[in-house]
């Protein structure tokens, strides 16, 4: 604008110096100078508006980036919460299964001990039973129950010792396979999955008609999953379904296989 005004003033001065300018020329020149000034002002305002738009665009861009980052953080938190819920659900299912097994085991143990003539201390032995010479009838029951109580309290090392002692003394009773099964459960609870698998395998090989066979196969499958060996886990879980289809363990095996994406026909 200063350049335009200086130039116009110079022209005007030249005209006046030579005496060849009229009042109309001067008025026209003033109008041109005014128009140039308005154009320069308009240009300045337009330039200022562009700068404001650019600043606003940068601000919007920054806010958008922050929103995208916040959304990504929220999605990550949601995924983490979902994984925690799935873990808790699996733990709940395992706990329910364990409680059901414990209830069945307790009832079965009482029946078997009664059949063996192992009456509680102070109670008369069932008619027709004859305790072995030098071995009180309640001794097997006390040893087994003591180990079982240790297991229930979470004293897994003591429980393993108790059940192992029971097996050493009474390897061929109706509760021997159960004692071996609970040793496997103790190892599993201690997260010693290799020993748990070995113990459950020993049960399946030594007590082929055991009523704990389905449970042993199921826990073998779970132990392999904990070790990250999906293929062996699937094999054992499928075996539960095919060999013991009507058992509660088969239902649990199907649920876990479904979570692994394995379809059972």
Distance CA 149, CA 106 (A): 11
Q: What is the pLDDT of residue 245?
A: 95
Residue 38 to residue 45: CA distance in whole angstroms: 10
Residue 37 backbone phi and psi in degrees, to 5: -60, -40
Residue 132 has pLDDT above 60, yes or no: no
Tell me the two tokens of residue 22: 């009229």
SS3 assignment, position 229: coil
Segment 72-126, tens digit of pLDDT = 778 777 877 776 666 566 556 556 556 655 655 665 666 565 555 443 333 333 4
Residue with tokens 């414990």: 102
pLDDT of residue 3: 46
C-alpha span between 174 and 180 (Å, rounded):
11
Record the tokens describing residue 163, joined without a space: 């059940």
Q: Would you say 230 and 260 are in contact if contact means Cβ atoms under 8 Å apart?
A: yes
- pLDDT for res 62: 82
DSSP letters, 20-75, are ---HHHHHHHHHHHHHHHHHHHHHHHHHHHHHHHHHHHHHHHHHHHHHHHHHHHHH
Of the candidates 114, 104, 247, the residue with the CA atom closest to the CA atom of residue 181: 104
pLDDT of residue 50: 65
> What is the value of pTM for the model shown?
0.54
- Tell me the percentage of the chain whose pLDDT exceeds 90: 45
Which element (helix H / strand E) includes 16?
helix 2-18
Say which residue, 131 or 255, is predicted with more confidence.
Answer: 255
Distance of alpha carbon 89 from its chain centroid, rounded? 9
DSSP category for residue 245: T
Sign of CA dihedral 12, 17, 20, 26: positive
Q: What is the mean pLDDT of the chain?
A: 77
Domain-by-domain residue ranges, the chain?
Answer: 2-77
The residue to which tokens 């058992």 are assigned = 247
């Amino acid at each position: 604008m200063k350049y335009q005004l200086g130039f116009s003033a110079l022209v005007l001065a030249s005209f006046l110096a030579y005496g060849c300018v009229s009042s109309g020329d001067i008025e026209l020149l003033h109008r041109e100078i005014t128009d140039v000034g308005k154009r320069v002002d308009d240009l300045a305002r337009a330039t200022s508006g562009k700068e404001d738009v650019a600043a606003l665009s940068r601000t919007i861009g920054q806010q958008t980036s922050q929103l995208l980052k916040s959304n990504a953080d929220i999605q990550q938190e949601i995924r983490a919460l979902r994984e925690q819920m799935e873990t808790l659900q699996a733990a709940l299912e395992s706990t329910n299964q364990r409680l059901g097994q414990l209830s069945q085991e307790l009832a079965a143990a009482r029946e078997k001990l009664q059949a063996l003539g192992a009456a509680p201390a102070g109670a008369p032995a069932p008619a027709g039973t004859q305790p072995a010479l030098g071995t009180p009838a309640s001794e097997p029951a006390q040893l087994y129950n003591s180990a079982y109580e240790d297991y229930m309290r979470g004293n897994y090392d003591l429980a393993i010792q108790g059940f192992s002692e029971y097996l050493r003394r009474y390897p061929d009773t109706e509760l021997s396979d159960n004692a071996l099964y609970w040793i496997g459960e103790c190892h599993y609870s201690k997260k010693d999955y290799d020993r748990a698998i070995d113990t459950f395998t020993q049960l399946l090989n030594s007590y082929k008609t055991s009523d704990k066979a389905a449970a042993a196969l199921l826990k073998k499958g779970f132990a392999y999953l904990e070790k990250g060996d999906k293929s062996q886990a699937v094999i054992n879980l499928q075996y539960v379904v095919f060999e013991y289809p009507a058992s509660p363990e088969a239902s649990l095996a199907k649920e876990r296989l479904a979570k692994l994406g394995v379809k059972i026909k």
